[in-house]
Structure 1
Amino acid sequence: MTESTTGSTQLRDELAPSWIDEITIESLLHPQDTTTRLREEAPLAWIPALGTWAATSWDLCKEIANDTENFEAVSSPLATRVFGDPNVTSAEGDLHTHLRNAVATPVSARAIRGQIESRMRPTAKGLIEKLRTQGGTAELLVDYFEPISVRSVADSYGFFDVETDTLRRWFHQLKTGSTNMARNPDGSFANPDGFALTDGAREEIREYLEGKAKEDTEDPNNVIARWIHAESTDGQTRSIDALVPSMLIVLLGGLQEPGHALGSTFFGLTTRPEQLQRVIADKTLLPKAISEGLRWMSPLYAGPARAAKHDLVLQGQQIHKGDIMRLVYGSANHDSKYYEHGELYDLDRYAHPHLAFGDGRHSCVGSALGPQIARVGLEELFAAFPNISVDPARPITSAGWPFHGPTALNVLFNDDAR
């Protein structure tokens, strides 16, 4: 499947508001105003700047994500350039099951149960001790949230010998390519040099995975070696080439998104100081606070792509075979049909499921691990620094498409307040 630029645009010109032509990739870095207007005026719209359809309402995202008759997972040209194809987000059928089992098993609820206290909490406590040496100031994303995220996820796959700073560098370098969306009219990438850092990280990661595959397959912590050398369904040894694209996705989304879940929850709570104080005083409120944080500022704002399997009409729009549908989960999580004043963080919001982890067969494999990392991380942070606050000289902002989260979290705390 390839992104379509024919047929759909002609009908879009007739049905969609003209202001959609003015949407730019740059404007989508701060997407809330645009996606709110899309939900209200054109919940299914062809976006010329992206070369894809965007589904921005809750109902549409749910429908397309679960409609296997009309839509299938696909690797967009950008995802193929960055990760390779097939991968766990683009495969279907037996191949998808095979790849999903490979990357999901180490981070399943059952697999991580014993890691929460034995690995995650000691990691958090060690990072807290480093924060104590910083004179009452920190940039939480760099100093705490990203390190606990990358360490916890990578250790679940047995990457104990990779330094935390290297893991952070890997996902940031992969991110530069995954956000290099600008295209020329002929479909080529407008900034081919923008993939240089991503290519470097990909080769470094591949070399590391090849090394792990050669190590002791009896080591229960060596997930990669055991997967490679296990007998596949056709009786053949698995190839490292079959695993690399999916592991690259894990090393981008998996390493990044728990950190963003921490950041979004902390950011959201700071917008409601009385709710922040309630959570600091009562850690049993943290699961609800994290769920609301994920809804309020979904780390994966614009989800994986789907492609039309044949021509069809959806919400009065003519969709052509091969057209790419972008599921904008971050927008769906603000849909006023299900969330009153969805733009506000509210710990006391009436419980309703969110789509921060997607939906259906391609939902995020880290849906069990991510909230646990966030819970442990915030428990330890609030226990250590109950008077933590945002630095008033550097207020929090957020940005990003398709990934969205706080850009920096500069805070103040008094280590003597216990």
Structure 2
Amino acid sequence: MTTSTTWIDQITMAELDRDPNPIYERLRREAPVAFVPAVGMHVVATRELCLQITQDSDTWSTVIAPSGGRTFGAGTVLASNGDRHRELREWIDPQLRPSAVDTYVEKLVRPQAQAILAKIEGLGAADIQAAYFAPVSVRAVADLMGLVDVPSDTLVRWFQTLAMSYGNAEVDALGNFVNAAPFEAGDKVKDEIIATVDPMLDHWTANPDHTLISHWLHDGMSDGEVRDRAEIYPNIYVFLLGALQEPGHVMTTTLAGLLQNPDQLEKVVDEPSLLPRAITEGARWVAPIWSAAVKVANHDVTIAGLELAAGTPVMLAYGSANRDESVWENPSAFDVDRPAMPHLAFGSGNHACAGTYLGTAIVRIALEELFETIPNIEPDPERAPQFWGWTFRGPQALHVLWEV
């Protein structure tokens, strides 16, 4: 007796990493909640259902994707619920709230952006992601965390390795991971991070300062006590991966969208006040965290006509939700002028990204400085950007030209 397979059973991780959009367009139309064997869980593809799940904490609890749990270990804010989640956010959130960010973000980002641009503006050509966007993103967030003395290339290597580990989601028919190597590489990087950061924690224990990690160590603790490092390290890994990498991805994606639409690029360069709209559209167009949020059913539930047993995990595909045809007209197009509609690039509900305001401020300042310094930026016609990634998605590079 043979078992019939469907097109969903034949989806591969290679296809999802290369371009998930055709697959998710079909899922939204035919199977908005579907078990995808390649990733070992049900995937939710529409905006309405993603919102429904994120806003119903009685029915759904937050967990972390199996590959994420293997990468970060236990105790991350990503996998916490209820009182534990509130406790973690109480020491993670304060320095990331808009009122706090506005006190430091200009000094944190603009001088770095100006210094990097001063080194490249005479070149006339660059992979602007590698030469400018990634360094600005990495340096701004790392310095805020307190990792001032860690070289940028080391930080990039750390988050790239962690990203490959987190994105190593492919499983076999028994639900076992197919590839061990990305996890092993991630383990080596975590050992390196601990060896680097432990002496800093020793220093901050006796000499607290304004950096994020110092706040995490001390805030909410009784006098003379500090938070256990076992609580801090998993969340350092989360920040090294998400916070360092994703502003750079949004910068690159936003510029890529503008370069595909020269009239929109000209409008934004001439009117910098339009940058927030462009950034919002860039994050919607290609969500930097495409598929990472996982919820688990607290009890038996029926969703989109599908009965799921208690304990069933579902992956919320925010990148798919952001291209839902029932919400956005021609969603695959980048359009600065489209009507404003909240997207899900930074999540929703009580697990929405704590660093959204900081991240978008970093992106805005970096693009302001770029367009001020190189207003005549153009795409390299010989080297079109190649987007890649299912868990984290963005251009692999963005080659541009300008007259010097």
If the TM-score is normalised by the length of the shorter chain, which range does it land in? over 0.9
Which sits farther off after the overlay, 395-404 or 224-233?
224-233
Per the normalisation by structure 1, the TM-score is 0.91
**Residue 211 (structure 1) aligned with residue 193 (structure 2):** no
Q: Which of 140, 150, 157 pairs up with 1:152?
A: 140
1:329 corresponds in structure 2 to: 318
CA offset at residue 412 of structure 1?
Answer: 0.7
1:295 corresponds in structure 2 to: 284
The one-letter amino acid paired with 1:44 is V
Tell me the C-alpha RMSD between the 2 structures: 1.9
Q: Which of 56, 69, 81 pairs up with 1:67?
A: 56
Q: Which of 174, 180, 183 pairs up with 2:171?
A: 183
CA offset at residue 234 of structure 1?
Answer: 12
Equivalents in 2 of 1:225, 1:409: separation in Å?
35
**Does the 8 Å CA contact 2:105/2:358 hold for their aligned counterparts?**
no
- Aligned pair count reads 400
Matches within 5 A, 1:124-273: 124-133=113-122, 135-216=123-204, 217-232=206-221, 237-273=226-262
Matches within 5 A, 1:28-67: 28-29=16-17, 30-67=19-56
Question: What is the CA deviation profile of residues 5-36 of structure 1, one whole-angstrom value per residue up to 9, with x for unaligned ones?
Answer: xxxxxxxx99xx92111111111111011111
Percentage identity across paired residues of the two chains: 38
CA offset at residue 231 of structure 1?
Answer: 5.0
Matches within 5 A, 1:69-84: 69-84=58-73
**Does the 8 Å CA contact 1:157/1:221 hold for their aligned counterparts?**
no
Which sits farther off after the overlay, 192-201 or 297-306?
192-201
Give the match's secondary structure for 1:188.
coil
**Does the 8 Å CA contact 2:113/2:366 hold for their aligned counterparts?**
yes
Which sections of structure 2, spanning at least 5 residues, go unmatched?
A: none
Equivalents in 1 of 2:92, 2:158: separation in Å?
18
The one-letter amino acid paired with 1:146 is A
Which sections of structure 1, spanning at least 5 residues, go unmatched?
A: 1-12
Per the alignment, do residues 215 and 186 of structure 1 end up closer, same or farther by CA in structure 2, a change over 3 Å counting? same
CA offset at residue 70 of structure 1?
Answer: 1.1
Q: Which of 112, 117, 121 pairs up with 2:110?
A: 121
Question: What is the CA deviation profile of residues 168-191 of structure 1, one whole-angstrom value per residue up to 9, with x for unaligned ones?
Answer: 111111111111122233332211
Give the match's secondary structure for 2:51.
helix
**Does the 8 Å CA contact 1:209/1:224 hold for their aligned counterparts?**
no
CA offset at residue 108 of structure 1?
Answer: 2.3
Give the match's secondary structure for 2:174.
coil
Per the alignment, do residues 222 and 265 of structure 1 end up closer, same or farther by CA in structure 2, a change over 3 Å counting? closer
1:406 corresponds in structure 2 to: 395
Equivalents in 1 of 2:64, 2:276: separation in Å?
33
CA offset at residue 76 of structure 1?
Answer: 2.8
Equivalents in 2 of 1:366, 1:129: separation in Å?
28
Equivalents in 1 of 2:23, 2:223: separation in Å?
48
Which sits farther off after the overlay, 181-190 or 37-46?
181-190
Equivalents in 1 of 2:201, 2:336: separation in Å?
45
CA offset at residue 362 of structure 1?
Answer: 0.5
The one-letter amino acid paired with 2:247 is P
Per the alignment, do residues 229 and 279 of structure 1 end up closer, same or farther by CA in structure 2, a change over 3 Å counting? closer
CA offset at residue 77 of structure 1?
Answer: 2.1
**Residue 394 (structure 1) aligned with residue 383 (structure 2):** yes
CA offset at residue 272 of structure 1?
Answer: 0.9
**Does the 8 Å CA contact 2:60/2:295 hold for their aligned counterparts?**
yes
The one-letter amino acid paired with 2:370 is L
**Does the 8 Å CA contact 1:215/1:225 hold for their aligned counterparts?**
no
CA offset at residue 303 of structure 1?
Answer: 3.1
**Does the 8 Å CA contact 1:70/1:309 hold for their aligned counterparts?**
yes
CA offset at residue 213 of structure 1?
Answer: 1.7
Which sits farther off after the overlay, 184-193 or 35-44?
184-193
Please list every run of at least 4 consecutive aligned residues from structure 1 whose deviation after the TM superposition is greater than 6 angstroms: 233-236
**Does the 8 Å CA contact 1:154/1:160 hold for their aligned counterparts?**
yes
**Does the 8 Å CA contact 2:92/2:216 hold for their aligned counterparts?**
no
Question: What is the CA deviation profile of residues 150-172 of structure 1, one whole-angstrom value per residue up to 9, with x for unaligned ones?
Answer: 11111222221222222111111
Per the normalisation by structure 2, the TM-score is 0.94
1:102 corresponds in structure 2 to: 91
Equivalents in 2 of 1:274, 1:110: separation in Å?
35
1:18 corresponds in structure 2 to: 6
Give the match's secondary structure for 1:160.
coil
Which sits farther off after the overlay, 90-99 or 285-294?
90-99
The one-letter amino acid paired with 2:154 is T
Per the alignment, do residues 186 and 20 of structure 1 end up closer, same or farther by CA in structure 2, a change over 3 Å counting? closer
**Does the 8 Å CA contact 1:106/1:112 hold for their aligned counterparts?**
yes
CA offset at residue 96 of structure 1?
Answer: 1.0
The one-letter amino acid paired with 1:252 is L
CA offset at residue 132 of structure 1?
Answer: 2.4
CA offset at residue 218 of structure 1?
Answer: 4.3
The one-letter amino acid paired with 2:360 is P
Question: What is the CA deviation profile of residues 125-172 of structure 1, one whole-angstrom value per residue up to 9, with x for unaligned ones?
Answer: 011012125x21111111111111111111222221222222111111
